[in-house]
Amino acid sequence: MSDRDIYYLLDLYENNSSYESNYVKGEIRSTEHNRKRKREEKRKNRHLIFDELLLEAKTLIFTPNQKKLIRYFIDDFNNDFQYFHRRASEECIILAFMFFLKKIDTPEIRLERYRITKKYGLTDHVFELIICRLTLKVMHRIPIIPRQHTKDNHDMLIREGKR
């Protein structure tokens, strides 16, 4: 091996893009690396879909915090996206997240009044299923633990027959 070969290899490792900084032509990537790259591509694509839906649904106006929350849902449930609804498209699921936040602000919103919901197939039934599964996922992460909040021992007094 000559000195030129070493400098050539060093140049290959140092001048690659930031995404593929450790990759040299002909090197085989691990399956874990490929899975990670595909997950990241899907996540970025879903964020682009969300941006397009924001532009398409001009009548739905979101605050910056609401946009951050939708982006958080996309990032957080990136691996389990099809868990929400197997046959619904990604656009439909992201649109359900958007209408979920809108329904919190204004409960009188009706899905059938919006053209975008018909375009992407977001019906009341699909919306309800996606939101129920979303809350179920969140509830599994944060279990509800019963605690006694008051100093009132009403239940204990009734059980012991002192009241």
| Domain regions of the chain by residue span | 35-143
- Quick: pLDDT tens for 104-127: 999 999 999 999 999 999 999 999
pLDDT digits 0-9 by tens, 9-57: 777 677 654 445 556 667 788 889 889 999 999 999 999 999 999 999 9
Using the predicted structure, report yes or no on whether residue 3 has a pLDDT greater than 70: no
Give which of 67, 80, 70 is closest to 141, Cα–Cα: 80
Q: What is the pTM of this model?
A: 0.72
Using DSSP, state whether 88 is helix, strand or coil. Answer: coil
Please tell me which residue, 137 or 15, carries the higher pLDDT value: 137
pLDDT confidence band for 141 (50 / 70 / 90): confident
Distances (CA, A) of 51 to 55, 56, 74: 6, 9, 12
| Average pLDDT score over the chain | 85
Rounded Cα distance between 46 and 49, Å, is: 5
pLDDT of amino acid 67: 96
pLDDT of res. 104: 93
Stretch 136-162: mean pLDDT: 75
- Alpha-carbon distance of 17 to 90, in angstroms, equals 29
CA 131 to chain centre: 12
SS3 149: coil
Can you tell me the distance from the alpha carbon of 142 to that of 113, in angstroms, rounded to the nearest whole number? 35
pLDDT at 144: 76
